Amino acid sequence: MCGIVGYTGVKPAAPILLEGLRRLEYRGYDSAGVCVGNDGALSVVKRAGKIKDLRAIVPKDLAGFWGIGHTRWATHGGVTDLNAHPHADCSGKITIAHNGIIENFAGLKEKLLSEDHLFLSETDSEVIAHLIESVYDGDLERAVKEALALLKGTYGIVVMHADEPGKVVGARNGSPLVLGIGEGEMFLASDVTAMMAYTKQVVYIEDGEVVTVQPSGFRTSDLHDNSITKKVEHIGWEIEEIEKQGFATYMEKEIFEQPEAILRAMRGRLDLEQATGHLGGLNLSSRELLNVERVKIVAAGTSFHAGIVGAYLLESIARIPATAELASEVRYRNPIVERGALHFVVSQSGETADTLYAMRELKRKGATVLGVCNVVGSTIARESDGGVYIHSGPEIAVASTKAFTSQMTVFHIFTLLMARMRNMSYEQGAQIAKELEAIPGYVSQILAEKEQIRALATKYSWAKDVLFLGRGINYPVALEGALKLKEISYIHAEGYSAAEIKHGPIARINERTPSVFLVPDDRLRDKVISNMKEVKARAGKVIAVCSQGDDEVASIADDTIQVPRVHEIVSPFVMVVPLQLFAYYCALELGRDVDQPRNLAKSVTVE
């Protein structure tokens, strides 16, 4: 959530800042603004609404070769033009853009007000500009460091001063910030996507670090002015990957990219000859893996649902006790780190605040923590003891789709690896490996039936409430199906284990509340069919996602989506894709903004 861009160089800054903000729209925001410096003066243009609304009011002749920009996701104060960033000090010579939350802003603001500082917004962020003003003596970098020493909370900030042309100072504590290095120009951003059109050479700023950029170069140091040598890294993504490439929306593109994304997550990791998996980034020897006695998976949102699938696989196939836990609860529960436990933290962005803080708490207690991330160079990827990149490519739509199936792919491969080291025969491993290898083809078959699912979505888009019900390994898929529908269509949806319907949810059943049942051809199929009959007996509408040719399920359900008949352990792949499409087409039918649903952010970088 929120996005930062900064630029200094030889090109007009305003177009670069606006393009960078456009690239950051997917993070979620409700207002935006830019500040451009020229001839000893700063010009700020900001407003509530979308980037296109901001672009419409930025003067075509806004001159200047350095500046900062921001997309805001409201935390302190309403969605207004005044609350939008950048924020200025009393003199108008200092401007800042800030991601994060300043926990002690109220006390600082009270002190600054007593010193006759004039505040124009309701935000916690504005206090930073006034703090810097209060200590500024001609050296912006030093003033920023003095001000930051007084703050409690999280921040990723960029700062500029009218009297120091061409200079932008950035700093980070808990909110991502990346430096981009160009030819005679420098970039700062909260995400590499904002600068990919201009450079692929980046430096990742760490917590407690300050970076000062000018067209000629950059300097990194800590708050005590100790210089820090940084490694320049290369972005592997191509600019074309963050374009829609002919699709109507990013979400549609990412749903249809899943066969290739799953294949990338498998590539080089699925050993058909030995019927096992290879995950070199774990940084654990075979003996260390063999000594693992328990696995704990920590995540949030969609990644949490993938983690539940992973825990189910590890217990049922590898026979290793495993649990999935919400990151937001782990950190504050004073978690117990058990001997022999291996922890995974899962985050598409690698910047999810709840997951990052939970990881740090676990590491403080001596845990071995592995990351499962999509974004190379992200904080979780850098701070974890090892891990796995899912290699999905950029995921721009707020609602995650291809990252979910790629995360599941990684957990399937890890389970195969662990099971083959322990109790699984070559024949069993070969069967699972063969089933995994076939998944991209099965997903392609489902995507080819999109018009049938679109018609079904049109038929049921009137619903105000929808239940999603699954058993076993498909219980978390039911949770994910419900999350997708409520995220992008705003239809209220809940996911449950189908067995739990009689323990409360059945009270909601009527002719106006459709129930989506996941009924693969597995050992729990008959149980789920019984639950379907319970709903039908109460006049409920039933949509069933079932295996091809399942006439019994088709005779009970009002509507079916038939998917390839697969092995039980890979069934989540063929079950979830129809639910993604169903949610997508419901949202389109209702006229929703599927890529940027209201109130949501792609990368949740505050608690």
| CB-based contact 21:11 (threshold 8 Å) | no
Reading the block at residue 467, the tokens are 């239940």
Q: Check 253, 296, 486, 602 and give the catalytic one.
A: 602
Element (H, E) at 36: strand 31-38
Within 8 A by CB and 6+ apart from 310, the residues are 295, 297, 322, 324, 344, 407, 408, 411, 414, 415
Please, which residues bridge with residue 41 across strands? Answer: 38
CA gap 414, 418 in Å, rounded: 6
90 is catalytic: no
| CB-based contact 180:5 (threshold 8 Å) | no
Quickly count: other Cβ atoms within 10 Å of residue 532's Cβ.
Answer: 24
CA gap 204, 13 in Å, rounded: 22
Q: DSSP strand E in 199-358: where?
A: 201-204, 209-214, 217-222, 233-234, 270-271, 276-277, 294-299, 322-326, 341-347
Within 8 A by CB and 6+ apart from 391, the residues are 261, 264, 265, 267, 374, 406
- Burial of residue 337 (CB within 10 Å: 0-12, 13-18, 19+) is middle
Q: Check 2, 373, 546, 586 and give the catalytic one.
A: 2
CA gap 52, 18 in Å, rounded: 9
Quickly count: other Cβ atoms within 10 Å of residue 39's Cβ.
Answer: 8
Element (H, E) at 69: strand 66-72
602 is catalytic: yes
CA gap 237, 374 in Å, rounded: 11
| CB-based contact 414:277 (threshold 8 Å) | yes
CA gap 176, 603 in Å, rounded: 10
Q: Which residue blocks in 343-425 are alpha helix, DSSP H?
A: 353-364, 379-383, 402-422
Q: Annotated catalytic sites, by residue?
A: 2, 602
